[in-house]
Structure formats: structure tokens, C-alpha cells
């Protein structure tokens, strides 16, 4: 492959898809093992397109209804992910997707890092991906937060 060419991998995903985060980690491992030059671009998909802007409160975790099942927990641990189920609401993800689009268009080298931050904040840290939390995600991913948030609104 010519040195100036890269393989483009477009991933259609929602930031509330736990299997997408596992897939991201597996993809990164495969890219590293291949040694090939690869660009990964994240594209939006809404798992719950009718979600209200404020999200929906999750039912409490219980033995009969755990927020994180055994299979997901073990598959996550195998790739270094700690799924906690700590976020109390299922989020409306359009603003997070808008932030990812900003990164893709204006700071493409940071989009993959932003996706990782959004996954971790929601699935591990229990942080709802909206409002000021998106600004904090932008900062952590190395984006210019004022421009990114203005674009995402």
C-alpha cells in the first residue's frame, strides 16, 4: 500500500451501544496487529430514535434485572472495559453525535479519542452524555470546547 494511502473504516454506532465499545477495542487491536495505516471515522446511529431530549430514567438494578449482564461484563473485561451500569438515565444521544460530527469535520484526529471518552463516561463513570458533560468530554479528548459545543448545539 502506498505510504500516503490509508484504509478508511467507517463505524456506524450509537454512544449508548455497549457492544460498539467492545467492537471499538477489538478493531483497535486488529489495526495495531495489522500494522496497516487506518483512519477510523464514527458515524451516527440512534438505537432509540424516539428518546425524549431529557432521556429516560432506568429502572433500579436488581437480581432479576441487572443493568449489566454477565456476558456483557465478561466480554468487556476481556478488552479492558468496566461496565458499571452507573448512569441512572438512558440518554438522548443526538447532542453527542453532533459533537462527534464536529470532531470529524474540524479535528478528525481527535474523533476516535472523543468516542472513547463518551463510551467510558457513560458506561464506566456513569456520566450522562449531555449538557456540560459534553464540554468536559470535548476537553478530555483535546478539542476546543467552545467551538465544539457551539457546533453541537
In this predicted model, what pLDDT tens digit does every residue of 116-139 receive, in sequence order?
A: 999 999 999 999 999 999 999 999
In this predicted model, what pLDDT tens digit does every residue of 7-25 receive, in sequence order?
A: 999 999 999 999 999 999 9
What pLDDT is attached to residue 64?
85
Instruction: Report the 10 Å Cβ neighbour count for 83.
Output: 20
- By three-state DSSP, how is residue 9 classified? strand
Burial 31-47 (b: 16+ CB within 10 A, else e): beeeeeeeebebeeeee
| pTM assigned to the model | 0.94
pLDDT confidence of 3, banded at 50, 70, 90?
low
Which has the closest alpha carbon to 13: 132, 85, 96?
Answer: 96
Query: Which residue has 456476558 as its cell numbers?
Result: 71
Amino acid at each position: 500500500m502506498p505510504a500516503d494511502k490509508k484504509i478508511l473504516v467507517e463505524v456506524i454506532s450509537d454512544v449508548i451501544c455497549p457492544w460498539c465499545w467492545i467492537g471499538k477495542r477489538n478493531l483497535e487491536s486488529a489495526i495495531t496487529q495489522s500494522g496497516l495505516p487506518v483512519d477510523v471515522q464514527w458515524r451516527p446511529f440512534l438505537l432509540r430514535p424516539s428518546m425524549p431530549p431529557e432521556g429516560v430514567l432506568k429502572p433500579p438494578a436488581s437480581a432479576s434485572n441487572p443493568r449489566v449482564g454477565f456476558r456483557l461484563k465478561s466480554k468487556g473485561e476481556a478488552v479492558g472495559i468496566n461496565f458499571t451500569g452507573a448512569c441512572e438515565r438512558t440518554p438522548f444521544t443526538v447532542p453527542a453525535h453532533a459533537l462527534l460530527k464536529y470532531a470529524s469535520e474540524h479535528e478528525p484526529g481527535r474523533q476516535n479519542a472523543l468516542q472513547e471518552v463518551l463510551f467510558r463516561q457513560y458506561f464506566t463513570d456513569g456520566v450522562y452524555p449531555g449538557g456540560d458533560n459534553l464540554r468536559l468530554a470535548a476537553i478530555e479528548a483535546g478539542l476546543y470546547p467552545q467551538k465544539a459545543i457551539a457546533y453541537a448545539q
